[in-house]
Amino acid sequence: MKCGETTGATNEALPASEAVRSARRAPSKVGWLANTHSTDPLEYAGAAPHASSCRRNWRSGGWPPPARNLPVVLDVIRLPVITCEFACSAWRRSTIVTTLMLAPFAGGHSQTLATNDPIIQQIWAIGTDSSPLPRLSAQLFDSIGPRLTGTTSLRGGQDWLVATYRAFGIPARNERYGTWRGWRRGYSHIDLVAPRVRSLEGTMLAYSPGTGRRDLTATTIILPRFADSTAFVKWLPSARGKFVLVSAPQPTCRPHDDWAKNATVAALAGMERLRDSVQREWGGAGGAGGANVRGTGYSLARGTGELGLRLEQGGAAGIITSSPSGGWGTYQVNETYNRRAPAIVLSCEDYGLVFRLTENKQHPAVRLNLDARLMGERPVFNTVAELKGAETPDEFVVFSAHFDSWDGASGATDNGTATLMVLEAMRILKRVLPHPRRTILAGHWSGEENHEVGSRAFAEDHPEILQGLQALFNQDNGTGRTEDIEAQGLPNSAEHLKGWLATLPPELNAQVQFDGEPGLPKTGGSDDFAFSCHGLPTFRLGARVWDYWEYTWHSNRDTPDKIVFEDLESNAKLAAMLAYLASEDPAMITRERVDLAAEAARRGSAAVPTSWPVCETAPRSTLPRLK
Ligand SMILES: [Zn+2]
């Protein structure tokens, strides 16, 4: 008998509880980690990933393990499929832990359960006992890192994804859909060199030109307020050869909740007034939201936008931005379309320092040494994995989770955790449902951060999947456990979802909020929209938020230490169960849409769209977002 994904690298006996704990920690003994020393981003991509082996514990008691350790396994052994993985790991875990986790499924109590479905029981058991999530996390976030569309890092990640699926015995492929601007991020060294020396906290924006690995030192200038765009053009020569500070200086870098908790009523009110006036003055949150920043007539959309290009054209040496997320030490790392003048983002605190020195006429000088390469248009891909349907292969249940990320950190919660959730759900399903009734697809899109490009292209390229779509489950809001699911405007989706949720184990059923209503169609924001805009059954697996917006979303702090593995493991099991239920459901979800006019009248709300949202065509090469 061969346990799935074993390394054979370690065989020492560990106490059962220690084995479980060690699987939770960063794996330190398995072979793949040696590959992380490689300088070639693709080297580990072809290497089969390895679990900490369930075989390591066999030696302590031989195989099969003594019956006294298997009260629950003996009960579950009547299930149609028993994998080595399940059996090994049940043996590995202590009797107490196993009994706690599987007690709801013990035969003696099964009549009291909301489910006694054997497949759901196995999904729960395999997802609980043999989770490779910490190991996959280390591979994806520590070795591969962020996955900005157009970068070699994304390509390396996609090859790793395909190799990982294949190691699980699941066919997978990278599917080309167009090109996007290629870019390589190297180092960012940013220093204040006058009037005093200090290394500054910051980094290049995505897709920024570098400085050719040479020092570029310049003084700074604040973008003033202009009466109109003519005044801006007249001012432009004074920015020549300078770094232009284009973002609002925040009056405080303390998070709002710190003020709310500690300030006097008067001080809090004063700070809120000040913040509001700064935002108004600079044209939006962080100075990046306005279409007419400081009266220039140009926007800093998603980084530096058209204003960055205009400043570059006018001879500016570079652009300095600030986009704090609202939490301590956290800022978003957005993008630029500049091709010569580099654009950087500084932390809230260091941007404030440089801004005040400039404002106080202390003539600060900043030195940049940036390594980056603009690589022109490069092919871009989605990664797709598939469990072929045995009865109706032309009907599809689709997992949807974008694989690309911004690259200020590791893209762990946006959207690495949903990526791992899908990967793990597919691994479990391959074990318990290798021949589903309908085809189960995993769609790992790229280009989501560039306006859902990959998923839109996939929907356009696969009318047969749109035609046969039974259900699509999308996740894209962080690491937390799934707590709400909506029917997104299809009454029959609501009916089916109600039935599926009722079949779940009580723990998961109680966790997921669903009001039973058809709900409203989404108008964008994530990849499910590429399908729901066609009026198809899609569901967002809404995650508990865990300070996502203030700390990890698009930020310099989106790192794997933020992952909540208990929630991630729960999400993978839930996703596998939902896909199983959708796949085996005797009936297809029908396509009637909610009556939007009736909903608007009933809700009396302007939030109800007046018509069904319209699909947008996917760009097949870089489409700049300058406004
Ligand atoms: Zn996302």
- The per-residue pLDDT for 289 is 57
pLDDT score, position 284: 55
Burial class of residue 461 in the structure, from the number of CB atoms within 10 Å of its CB (0-12 exposed, 13-18 middle, 19+ buried): middle
Q: Are 389 and 209 in contact (CB under 8 A)?
A: no
| Ligand 1 centroid from CA 414, angstroms | 5
Write out the two tokens for 117: 């479905």
Question: Taking the chain (627 residues) in consecutive chunks of 10 residues, what is each chunk's mean pLDDT?
Answer: 32 34 35 32 34 32 29 29 34 33 36 70 94 98 98 98 98 98 98 98 98 98 95 98 97 97 98 94 62 91 95 98 97 98 98 98 98 98 98 98 98 98 98 98 98 98 98 96 96 97 91 94 95 97 95 96 97 98 98 94 84 96 95
171 CA to centre of ligand 1 in angstroms: 25
Whole-model pTM above 0.85? Answer: no
Ligand 1 centre to CA of 507 (Å) is: 27
pLDDT of residue 204: 98
Number of Cβ atoms within 10 Å of the Cβ of 35: 15
How buried is 152 (Cβ within 10 angstroms: 0-12 exposed, 13-18 middle, 19+ buried)?
middle
Q: Tokens representing 38?
A: 């490689």
Distance from the CA of 328 to the center of ligand 1, in angstroms? 21
Cα of 425 vs centre of ligand 1, distance in Å, is 19
What spacing in Å lies between the alpha carbon of 604 and ligand 1's midpoint? 31
Centroid of ligand 1 to alpha carbon of 406 (angstroms): 9
Compute, in angstroms, the gap from residue 544 CA to the centroid of ligand 1: 15
Strand-pair partners of 332: 555
pLDDT in tens, 459-490: 999 999 999 999 999 999 999 999 999 999 99
The tens digit of pLDDT for each residue in 79-116 reads 333 333 333 333 333 323 333 333 333 333 333 345 68
Cα–Cα nearest to 320, from 300, 294, 292, 290: 300
Q: How far is the CA of 449 from the centre of ligand 1 (A)?
A: 7
- CATH 3.40.630.10 is right for the domain spanning 388-621: yes
Distance 457 CA to ligand 1 centre (A): 17
Span from the CA of 412 to the centroid of ligand 1 (angstroms): 10
Q: What is the pLDDT of residue 57?
A: 31
3-state secondary structure of 332: strand
Chain position carrying tokens 């106490």: 15
| Single-letter code of the amino acid located at 607 | A
Q: Outline where 404-462 has alpha helix (H).
A: 417-432, 453-461
What is the model's pLDDT at position 593? 97
Strand partners, 335: 206, 303
Cβ-contact 595, 585 below 8 angstroms? no
Q: What is the pLDDT of residue 291?
A: 82
Q: How far is the CA of 298 from the centre of ligand 1 (A)?
A: 27
Domain boundaries, the chain: 181-377, 388-621
CATH topology of domain 181-377: Glucose Oxidase; domain 1 (3.50.30)
Per-residue model confidence (pLDDT) at position 606: 74
The letter for the amino acid at 189 is H
Q: Ligand 1 mean position to 161 CA, how many Å?
A: 18
Structure tokens at 418: 């949903």
Q: How far is the CA of 184 from the centre of ligand 1 (A)?
A: 21
